[in-house]
Every structure is written in C-alpha cells, then in structure tokens.
Chains A and B, each alone.
Chain A
Amino acid sequence: NAGVTQTPKFQVLKTGQSMTLQCAQDMNHNSMYWYRQDPGMGLRLIYYSASEGTTDKGEVPNGYNVSRLNKREFSLRLESAAPSQTSVYFCASNLAEQETQYFGPGTRLLVL
C-alpha cells in the first residue's frame, strides 16, 4: 500500500513551457486535492475532486487545469508556466470529503 504517490519529484521549467504533475492513490479514496506551498507558508488549495468525474476550483486555481482521470489518478496541468508558479505541489486524498486527508511527498517545481 503506497498511499499517495506523485511524479515527478523535481522539475525545472522555462517560462511558457507546459507540464503535467501526476498523482495517484491506492487507498480507494473518492476525493482528491491539489495544493501548493510557497516558502514559509501553509498550503493553499488549487483544485479538488470530490468524486470521480467532478472537479472544482479551490483558493488559487488561476493558471492551472486538472483532470480526474479515474478514481485513482488526479493530474494537475500548467499550460504556460510562470515564475510565480515556482512552488512545492502536494496532492492529497481522502475517503470522503469530511474525512482526514492524506498527503503525497510533493513535487518541487522551479520556473525560470
């Protein structure tokens, strides 16, 4: 049982490049989340998916898109990366929205 996994671990992009961050969970959870964490700050919610087939915006969705590919996988896409998107990205999941969230190890993204 790997829990929540994220790929890649690290990525460097140039301004304007696109990329997709992958997240998968093997806990049969229904809800999944994408957060970003800037230096010295708490986590802020980008997008979430309460269940397979649904996605909703969080606190800071601008510049991102998401896809809930199936129950296990939830991806985050940056269409045109900007330096302001330099951050650590965390994926999380829970069985249902009201339950405890479990986090992945994070993806560190640097946009030059």
Chain B
Amino acid sequence: DAKTTQPTSMDCAEGRAANLPCNHSTISGNEYVYWYRQIHSQGPQYIIHGLKNNETNEMASLIITEDRKSSTLILPHATLRDTAVYYCIVRVVTTSGTYKYIFGTGTRLKVLA
C-alpha cells in the first residue's frame, strides 16, 4: 500500500497562505490523493482530492507534482478556524477490487493571530 509522509506540525500566520506538503513516493498510477482535516477530534472533514492534475475548490488548492510522488495542499488565506490536523490520504484499490483510504499521522497546523 502507498504510504504518506507529512510534517508533524506547522505554524502559519493568519491571512497568509498555508502550504502543507505530503510525500507519497510509492503511489500507483490509479491511486488518488485525498486531503481531510480534523478539528478538535471531530470527524474528518473532506477538503479536496486529485489524481494527476492540480485541483481547486472553495476551500483549497491541491498541487500534485508531475511524477505524482508528492503533493501540496494550499489554504490561500488561513484563518484561526483552519487550525486542525490535516491528513494526506492515498486511496488504494485492493487486490479484491475494493477501495481503501490509507491514513498517515497528519500535520497539526496552527494558525497564529
């Protein structure tokens, strides 16, 4: 299974862009990268996902390198409410044809006033 590696923690000033990196060097060609966040131990909240191309939605942008071995989640204007643990997840296809999320340990992002 592909595994993800993320920094344990990061700080970001309020109003600035938060750039959260993720390494997934063993990812396979059909495996998607998903990002979720978890605020105060609540249920994980979906942010964005992608396969090859860069993606943007109302919450964030996802930049995937051309070789797909790493990606960066960008929160363009971080607010205090973005303080959370951010998980980079690889969605794998098992040998039985089912889909599975592989969670890492996440990055604890602290947005500073």
Contacts and interface: CB of A to CB of B under 8 A. Distances in A.
Our verdict on whether A and B bind, yes or no, reads: yes
A1 interface: no
A4 B43 contact: yes
A98 B105 contact: no
Contact of A101 (B46, B96, B104, B106): B46
Contacts of B69: none
Given A88-B41, A101-B46, A42 B103 contact: yes
A105 B44 CA distance: 8
A97 interface: yes
Interface footprint category on B: 20 to 34
Interface of B: 34, 36, 41-46, 49, 87, 91, 96, 98-101, 103-106
A103 interface: yes
B100 A58 contact: yes
Given A50-B98, A97-B99, A105 B46 contact: no
B13 to A, nearest CB: 26
A105 B103 CA distance: 17
Interface of A: 4, 40-45, 48, 50, 56, 58, 88, 90, 92, 97-98, 100-106
A106 B41 contact: yes
Contacts of B44: 43, 90, 103
Contact of A44 (B46, B49, B98, B103): B103
Contacts of A50: 98
A100 B41 contact: no
Given A50-B98, A56-B98, A43 B42 contact: no
A40 to B, nearest CB: 7
Nearest to B4: A42
A43 B46 contact: no
A100 B34 contact: yes
A97 B98 contact: yes
A98 B36 CA distance: 16
